């Protein structure tokens, strides 16, 4: 049930002119762009070969990486927001999104029959192999584009490692290692001073309860902040001013079915105040609840450039999916207007 949040139109508050909101409308198979009044300003028809699962905006604001769940394996496509053109960097192998750099470089893990490679692709430009030999499953570039962090594991039950390197993949150094956990979704704070990440038990359980962690950029003072959902692919998100971290919290941690079935998750959005995250005692960390959906699956939040709004998808008990907005100034949580069921919101910087 979604009775905890009344369905209404968003309060009209001008957005930062630095960004605009987009969502994917499932009923019309189109990308919807919204103006500052949360009204549909543009509609870009898209013909995807497979269901869309996630979108990732390039820092430049020109491109979107589109993750698709295809029968033969995952596929990444790239959309030019200006023209609506969609291209497929690799058509005959599995491809997984990893990161964008500031130069519109798209980093993909490409896998053909177990032969995994890390590739850097420039939309409508060259593609080349990135010089990493480790089995990397996650990476992120620092705000200055000079440093990247990446995670890898040697296999189930062997733990994982988080390292930093220069932007060309050289001078690697250890930031954090855990013999019993998988470290994933490491994300730089916008000011480049801290790194947030999710830890989950390194077991055969596909969707365990995990933890949100944070550490200084040099790997020091690593500490847990709050329980968090793990295994579904929901990264934590820093606010643009680096003062808050929004994340997906699991509301049914005692439900064993939710450990095994992706659709059994009951979740909501929570925020950690970065100032209290400096505390080394978990009980002193300030965590606030943003949404109060009942019996719903609430997915990863994304921030507007001004830090006023969070947008996120919500899957109801009847499997209907829609995009909602949380106004962090007023506390209002409202359904976003669309043509029909919608998902995969994001903010594009202009």
Query: For residue 8, how many C-alpha atoms fall within 13 Å in the half-sphere facing its CB?
Result: 11
Name the maximum alpha-carbon separation found in the chain: 52
pLDDT digits (tens, 9 = 90+) for 216-249: 999 999 999 999 999 999 999 999 999 999 999 9
Secondary structure, 3-state, 10-50:
CCCCCCCCCEEEEEEECCCCEEEEECCCCCEEEEEECCCCC
Which whole number is the average pLDDT over 161-166? 97
Q: How many CB atoms lie within 10 A of CB 288?
A: 12
pLDDT of residue 277: 61
pLDDT digits (tens, 9 = 90+) for 256-282: 999 999 989 999 999 998 876 665 556
pLDDT digits (tens, 9 = 90+) for 29-45: 999 999 988 999 999 99
Which whole number is the average pLDDT over 138-150? 96
pLDDT classification of 285: cutoffs 50, 70, 90: confident
pLDDT of residue 166: 95
The answer to pTM > 0.85 is: yes
pLDDT of residue 9: 41
pLDDT classification of 141: cutoffs 50, 70, 90: very high
pLDDT digits (tens, 9 = 90+) for 50-81: 999 999 999 988 999 999 999 999 999 999 99
pLDDT digits (tens, 9 = 90+) for 202-214: 999 999 999 999 9
Output helix, strand, coil percentages for the chain, rounded to the nearest 5: 5, 50, 45
Which whole number is the average pLDDT over 108-115? 86
pLDDT classification of 283: cutoffs 50, 70, 90: low
pLDDT digits (tens, 9 = 90+) for 299-345: 999 999 999 999 999 999 888 999 999 999 999 999 999 989 999 99
Residue with tokens 């995994």: 116
- For residue 308, CA distances in Å to 8, 28, 144, 153 come to 18, 29, 24, 37
Nearest CA-CA partner of 293 in 250, 245, 229: 250
The pair of structure tokens assigned to 129 is 């192999």
pLDDT of residue 227: 94
pLDDT of residue 142: 96
Three-class SS state of 278: helix
Task: Please list, residue by residue across 147-167, b when 16 or more beta carbons sit within 10 angstroms of its beta carbon and e when fewer do.
Answer: bbbbbbbeeeeebbbbbbbeb
pLDDT classification of 4: cutoffs 50, 70, 90: very low
- Bridge-partner residues for 37, per DSSP? none
- For residue 142, CA distances in Å to 215, 252, 326 come to 14, 34, 27
Mean pLDDT computed over every residue of the chain = 90
């Amino acid at each position: 049930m979604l009775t905890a949040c009344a369905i209404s139109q968003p309060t009209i508050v001008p957005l930062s002119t630095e960004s605009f909101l987009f969502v994917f409308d499932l009923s019309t198979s189109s990308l919807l762009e919204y103006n500052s009044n949360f009204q549909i300003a543009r509609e870009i028809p898209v013909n995807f070969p497979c269901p869309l699962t996630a979108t990732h905006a390039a820092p430049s604001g020109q491109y979107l990486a589109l993750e698709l769940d295809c029968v033969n394996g995952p596929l990444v496509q790239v959309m030019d927001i200006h023209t609506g053109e969609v291209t497929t960097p690799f058509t005959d192998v599995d491809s997984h999104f990893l990161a964008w750099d500031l130069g519109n470089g798209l980093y993909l893990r490409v896998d053909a029959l177990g032969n995994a490679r890390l590739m850097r692709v420039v939309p409508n430009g060259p593609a080349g192999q990135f010089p990493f030999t480790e089995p990397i499953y996650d990476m992120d570039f620092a705000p200055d584009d000079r440093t990247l962090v990446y995670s890898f594991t040697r296999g189930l039950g062997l733990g994982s490692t988080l390292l930093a390197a220069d932007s060309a993949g050289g001078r690697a150094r250890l930031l954090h290692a855990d013999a019993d956990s998988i470290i994933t979704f490491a994300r730089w704070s916008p000011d480049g001073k801290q790194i947030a990440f999710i830890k989950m038990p390194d077991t055969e359980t596909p969707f365990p309860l995990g933890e949100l962690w944070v550490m200084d950029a040099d790997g020091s003072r690593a500490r847990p902040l709050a329980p968090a959902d793990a295994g579904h692919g929901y990264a934590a998100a820093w606010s643009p001013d680096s003062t808050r971290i929004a994340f997906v919290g699991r509301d049914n941690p005692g439900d064993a079915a939710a450990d095994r079935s992706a659709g059994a998750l009951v979740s909501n959005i929570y925020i950690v105040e970065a100032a209290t995250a400096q505390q080394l005692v978990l009980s002193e960390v300030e965590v606030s609840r943003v949404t109060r959906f009942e019996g719903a699956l609430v997915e990863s939040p994304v921030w507007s450039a001004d830090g006023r709004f969070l947008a996120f998808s919500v899957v109801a008990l009847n499997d209907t999916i829609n995009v909602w907005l949380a106004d962090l100034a007023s506390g209002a949580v409202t359904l976003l207007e669309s043509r029909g069921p919608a998902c995969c919101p994001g903010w594009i910087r202009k």
